Amino acid sequence: MERLKVLPGNPWDLGAVYIGSGVNFCVFSRNATAVYLELFKKSDDSASSCTIKLDPKINRTGDLWHVFIEGLKPGALYLFRVDGPFEPKNGHRFNKDIFLYDPRAKALTDGSLFKNLNFQKVCPLEKMPKCVVVDELAYDWEDDQPLKTPLNESIIYEMHLKGFTASPSSEVKFPGTYRGAIEKIPYLKKLGITAVELLPVQEFDAFENMNTNPKTGKRLVNYWGYSTTAFFAPKAAYSSDKSPGACVDEFKDMVKAFHKAGIEVILDIVFNHTAEGNEHGITFSFRGFDNSVYYQLVSTNKEYYVNFSGCGNALNCNHPVVQEYIIGCLRYWVRVMHVDGFRFDLASVLSRDENGFLTLEAPLTRRISEDPLLRDVKIIAEPWDCGGAYQVGSFPGGRWCEWNDKFRDGIRRFIRGDEKLSTEAATRISGSSDLYSSSGRRPYHSINYIASHDGFTMNDLVSYNYRHNEQNGEENRDGTDNNLSYNNGFEGPTLNPKIEKNRIRQIKNFFVALFLSQGTPMFVCGDEVQRSQNGNNNPYCQDNEISWFDWNDIKKHGDLLNFVKKLIELRRNHRVFMRDDFFKGQKTATQTSPADINWFNIEGFTPDWAKLDRFLAFRLGGGITESDSKSDNDFYIAFNTDSHDGTVTVPPPSDGKKWYRVLDTSIENEECILSEGNEELLINQEKYVILAGSAIVLISK
């Protein structure tokens, strides 16, 4: 450190920025009286090797504190300390004795703060991860470019980065890491998905969870990662190379490899709160830099935190300073890390003003939508929060996509066989125009899903009536009771072949509804091979076989995997399933081709929607094209969710064509779904017996 030269620095990009001759450090704090930069030689140092006190007369411009350390190199380790008033009732929680992460740290060293807290809720310095200086321009991206896959052509695969390859059954060289994911790209490419949506990979502390598993006695963890500690830093524990900062290049290697395979990378990002918790929480970053700016506090007593996230605090997202922070973070992940989009957890927090009220003119969501650097990336909202906000169909800000839980719940109930759900299912399958058309959005702004990380897997939807979260250490009180599931007569795994056949058929029905609906389909990792969580619908804390992808399931459930692959291929080969706009109905019919969509009852007539029950059928007219699409085949799709078989009257195809069977979920072997060119010509072109609890798809050729 003796060769380092301390200069005033500049108030440009915040964080630690390497510019060749040294590193410029810049942090925000409006109410601090002093800022200290602490440099370290090793990650396990118990004391800093150099303390640099920033002089407010020299090292402060407005609310920005800055210093340039000439001679400092990438890989250098650092933390901050910040002094100022400790007045919780006024929102200030400064403490010059607490070491802090740079809110814009590009990487942390591997380790855990929470695991090593003492009884005073302080982590010994030698155990505390350190911030790492990263040269963001040194990486060779080769010719990597954004894929920009259109939303209507996208198929999203939600997966946990570690859980994808953590199981020994994965047989990868680097299980549970960015490199491990690279090794399994051929599987994803063959599956046919166009994007992976990764559960949080921004740095979080898995040992934040203090509960223990009552069955094993082992300490549970925060496995999902929805509690961020450093928003600019990829999680070091997911890197096979544990040297300081190596996680950055390894993450980039993964993104580049995904792009070469034609697969986009979408990050699940958690701007609604941080891991610092409520008034009894831990200070390690934002709270120590300027608590009164970064967090929403109770106006009458700023000692307490507003808790729209359900996790103790809520970021003050529409404060101009916090807006700049969030925009800067998103830009970094796009510009420097080359990601293709973001899914925003509990995104309604982002649309609350500084007083906590929901606003349709939320500055932040509008800025994200309109930001020139972010215009080509996918932005997906989970349009609700834990403070009572629910904005499905009305999330503010323009071009936002939304997780559509109305699709999830409506299709779950319809396929389960609930009464009077045909109209709801028709609305969801045709793109949820009731939610999105009035705001000028399109069907593809609806992210359609049956199951996600949060809740039952698709297999467990047909195998359990009740949650089984006993191993979460919360006496089975966590998770939802509203699963809309049906166990088909037995709770959990069974050797009864009839029950198992019913379950597999229902899963196939779910996939048919998912992939042949208008909108952007998303499914969760492992649903294509009947991955089970043993009835646990909230395994946020289970970093084990409950949550991991079991690669033995590929052979065990190869029939379902083959079905899903072919169904994805069917969707991607036919524009009628990937429309850019909503259906226009009968007015699109011509003398030579049917309307873009027609609905039918079982007798082949236009349905009386008030009476239609446990049945839904429609014909997609391939001759009706949109401005940028080519003509396609006609398709007839029908669902019989009743407990009785039915004989449907099939409408006529376009002139000169005949109906061929593409799939019938009642067929149990590989003939269940036929590949393109091998469809089965129907002997009877007017009638088809659709068995109870089944779906069929016909194509006209």
The conformation of residue 348, written as its DSSP 8-state character, comes to G
3-state secondary structure 63-99: CEEEEEEECCCCCCEEEEEEECCEEHHHCEECCCCCC
Q: What does each C-alpha distance from 323 to 43, 193, 260, 293, 371 come to in angstroms?
A: 32, 33, 33, 11, 12
Helix-helix angle 497-515:558-573, to 10 degrees? 20
Q: What are 207's two structure tokens? A: 């040992």
For 475-513, letters b (16+ CB in 10 Å) and e give eeebbeeebbbbbbeeeeeeeeeebbebbbbbbbbbbbb
Q: Which residues contact residue 201 at a Cβ distance below 8 angstroms, ignoring those fewer than 6 apart?
A: 161, 225, 234, 235, 238, 251, 267
Q: Which residues contact residue 139 at a Cβ distance below 8 angstroms, ignoring those fewer than 6 apart?
A: 248, 249, 252
Report d(CA 288, CA 32) in Å as an integer. 9
Report d(CA 546, CA 693) in Å as an integer. 29
Active-site residue 382, yes or no? yes
Write down the catalytic residue from 345, 402, 550, 679: 345
CB 123 within 8 A of CB 116: yes
Report d(CA 583, CA 443) in Å as an integer. 10
Nearest to 410 by CA among 438, 448, 437, 444: 448
Write down the catalytic residue from 382, 550, 553, 632: 382
Largest Cα span, the chain: 89
Q: Read off the amino acid at residue 585.
A: G
Cβ-count burial of 207 within 10 angstroms (0-12 exposed, 13-18 middle, 19+ buried)? middle
Q: What are 625's two structure tokens? A: 């094209």
First-residue to last-residue Cα distance in the chain: 76
The conformation of residue 347, written as its DSSP 8-state character, comes to G
Ramachandran region, residue 162 (left: φ > 0; alpha: ψ -120 to 50; beta: rest): alpha
Q: Read off the amino acid at residue 453.
A: H
Instruction: Give the residue numbers marked as catalytic.
Output: 345, 382
